[in-house]
Amino acid sequence: MASGQLSRAEALACTNCRHACHVMLYCDTQNKLFGEIPIKHIILMQMRFDGLLGFPGGFVNPSEESLEEGLSRELLEEIGVVVPISVENHVQSCPDEDVDTRLILHFYAKKMKEEQILEIERSAASTAIDHGHEVLGMVRVPLYRTEGGGLSSFLSHSFIGTARQQLLDCLLRFGLISPQTLCHALSISVATHK
Ligand code: GTP
Ligand code: MN
Ligand code: MN
Ligand code: MN
Ligand code: MN
Ligand code: MN
C-alpha cells in the first residue's frame, strides 16, 4: 500500500477518529456525443453546496452503523435512491492529510447498469432530500477530448479534499481511460487543486 493508506480494519481501529465515506458510481455506455464521440462511461460526481466538485457520500459514525450502511444512508440523502454498498466496493482509506489527520476518508467504487445510473440522475434532482441544499446537482465526468477541452477542462475545476486524485486513481484502476489519454488531459488542465 502507498504511504498514508490504511486497511479498512486499521482505519476502524482508530477510535478517536471521525470517518467519512464517498463512492464513485459508474457504468458503461454505448452512447455518443454529437453522434460521433464515444462517451464510454458515465461517472457520477456532484456540485457541492460549497461550489466544489466531489463524490456522493458523507460522515459515518462507526459506533452506530457500519461504514457501508452509513454510506448507503448518505446516498439516500444525496441522490434519493437506496444503493447497497458492500465491503467489496471498498477502494482505499486514507487520513485527511491536508486539514485534519483524525478524519479518515474511505473511498468506494461501484459499477452499475446504465439504467440504474439514469434512475439515480432522475431521483437526485427530484426526491433526494439534500437536493438544492447540500447538493446543487449531479454531474457526469467527460472522459473524452473536444476542441475546447473535455476531460482537461473538467479537471481544471476545484475539487473537495482528495476527490480529484480519487477520480484519477479510479480511472486508471478500473481501466476507464488509457494512461496516454489521461496524461494528455492532465498536461493541459489547469490544476489549482490536487
Ligand atoms: P453534512 O451532512 O453537512 O455533515 O455533510 P456530509 O455528511 O455529506 O459530509 P461531506 O460529504 O461533506 O464529507 C465530509 C468530509 O469529507 C468533508 O468535509 C470533506 O473534508 C471530505 N469530503 C467530502 N467529499 C469528498 C470527496 O469526494 N472525496 C474526499 N476525499 N473527501 C471528501
Ligand atoms: Mn446543443
Ligand atoms: Mn450528506
Ligand atoms: Mn451527513
Ligand atoms: Mn456529502
Ligand atoms: Mn447532511
pLDDT tens, residue by residue, 119-166: 999 999 999 999 999 999 999 999 999 988 999 999 999 999 999 999
Calculate how far, in angstroms, residue 49's C-alpha sits from the geometric centre of ligand 6.
11
What is the model's pLDDT at position 190? Answer: 76
Domains of the chain by residue range: 8-141
How high is the ipTM of this complex?
0.96
What is the 3 state secondary structure string of the chain?
Answer: CCCCCECHHHHHHCCCCEEEEEEEEEEECCCEECCCEECCEEEEEEEECCCCEECCEEEECCCCCCHHHHHHHHHHHHHCCCCCCCHHHEEEEEEECCCEEEEEEEEEEEECCHHHHHHHHHHHHHCCCCECCCEEEEEECCCCECCCCEHHHHHCCCECCCHHHHHHHHHHHCCCCCHHHHHHHHHHCCCCCC
Q: Which residues surround ligand 4, an ion (CB under 5 A)?
A: 58-59
Ligand 1 pocket mutation pick from 6, 17, 22, 170 by most atoms within 8 angstroms of CB: 22
Residue 193: is its pLDDT beyond 50? no
pLDDT tens, residue by residue, 44-57: 999 999 999 999 99
CATH number, domain 8-141: 3.90.79.10
